[in-house]
Amino acid sequence: MSYPSKQATLAKYARKAPYLTSEEEHALATRWVHNKDLNALHKLTEAHIRMVIAHSLRYSGYGLSMSDLIQEGHLGLMEAASRFDPTREVRFATYATWWIKASLQDFILKNWSVVRGGTSSGQKTLFFSLRRIRAEIERANPHLNNSELSALICKRTGRKQEDIQRMTARLSGPDSSLNQPLYDEEQGGEQQDRLVCPSPSPEAITTKRIDRERRRNQLEAAMMTLNQRERHIIKMRHLMDDSPTLAKLGKNLGISKERVRQIECKALDKLRAATR
């Protein structure tokens, strides 16, 4: 036994929803705005569910669930109902259309890619119109090459070629999961297995650690060839984060800065000879 889908059930319910005359629509909106009559709100929104479904179908080509699109469109309808002013001579359907489309477009932009884009009104317009404009130009000029087609799109939209190329690449397909299985069943694995890891290999990490330990041991052994004053000067001048000047170090040791320099040079020569 097969059961009807949620979309089919909602579509059947929407078809049965009564149409409202301008007077009935105005009366329901007035009751909701002024008296917060929830029954009036329900009747007002139920009469326009078919409009939500119609707009959701127009955005069904972006690979998102139709039930999610209808839900987002209904949120836009509820937002329109909360903001509608019945004193203005505007039909509720006309006013709600903008909110429904805005809600659907925002939902698509948020779920199309993990990379945030289409934040400005120009980028948003280009995102939802580029496919249509490209199809119209290709139908009228079927023999254009890519560069000519791109030039006509730039002229039609008034946008730079870089913007068109960037948006075209973005519309080429939504994000794919790194955990998506590879097509090669014999090889197995996931898409992330093809990524090159920028981190050093375990062999390189081990080699670097061993070399660092070896150099440390060599330095410690070489330092033992120095006398106490030489070791102190080398430590203060070359092994400290904030090394003192020759003058300051000489003052602490009670010798001149020139004498400190001489001891330092002699100590460095000893270290070079020991580490060789």
196 within some domain = no
**What sign results for the dihedral spanned by CA atoms 126, 130, 132, 134?**
positive
Listing DSSP states for 189-225 in one string gives -BGGGGSPP-SPPHHHHHHHHHHHHHHHHHHHHHHTT
DSSP state at residue 43: H
> Which region among 60-74, 154-168, 249-263 has the lowest average model confidence (pLDDT)?
154-168
Question: Residue 2's pLDDT is what?
Answer: 40
Contact between 256 and 250 (Cβ < 8 Å)? yes
Question: Residue 171's pLDDT is what?
Answer: 62
Lookup: tokens for 241: 């984060």
pLDDT digits (tens, 9 = 90+) for 223-232: 888 888 888 8
Q: How many helices (H) and strands (E) does the chain have?
A: 13, 0
pLDDT digits (tens, 9 = 90+) for 148-189: 777 777 877 777 777 777 666 666 655 566 666 766 656 667
Contact between 31 and 81 (Cβ < 8 Å)? no
Cα(26)–Cα(20) distance, integer angstroms: 9
178 within some domain = no
Cα(167)–Cα(117) distance, integer angstroms: 9
Confidence of residue 274 (pLDDT cuts 50, 70, 90): confident
- Which residue's structure tokens are 């705005």? 33
Same domain for 259 and 157, yes or no, is no
CA dihedral 17, 23, 25, 26 (to 10 degrees): -170
211 within some domain = yes
Lookup: tokens for 89: 């001579």
192 within some domain = no
> Which region among 6-15, 197-206, 245-254 has the lowest average model confidence (pLDDT)?
6-15
Question: Residue 184's pLDDT is what?
Answer: 60
- Number of structural domains in the chain: 3
- Asked if pLDDT for residue 83 goes beyond 70, the answer is yes
DSSP state at residue 226: S
Provide the CATH number for the domain around residue 269.
1.10.10.10
User: Mean pLDDT across the stretch 80-100?
Assistant: 89
Question: Residue 204's pLDDT is what?
Answer: 86
Question: Which strand (E) or helix (H) includes residue 152?
Answer: helix 146-157
User: Mean pLDDT across the stretch 118-136?
Assistant: 69
Same domain for 99 and 166, yes or no, is no
CB under 8 Å to 225, separation ≥6 — which residues?
270, 271, 274
Contact between 133 and 171 (Cβ < 8 Å)? no
**What is the residue type of 204?**
A
190 within some domain = no
> Which region among 30-34, 52-56, 70-74, 197-201 has the lowest average model confidence (pLDDT)?
197-201
Name the residue with higher pLDDT: 255 or 109: 255
- Asked if pLDDT for residue 3 goes beyond 50, the answer is no
Same domain for 6 and 98, yes or no, is yes
Same domain for 43 and 134, yes or no, is no
Same domain for 48 and 122, yes or no, is no
Same domain for 1 and 108, yes or no, is yes
Cα(145)–Cα(31) distance, integer angstroms: 59
Name the residue with higher pLDDT: 1 or 250: 250
What does pLDDT average to over the chain? Answer: 80
Question: Residue 99's pLDDT is what?
Answer: 92
Question: Which strand (E) or helix (H) includes residue 117?
Answer: none
**What is the residue type of 241?**
D
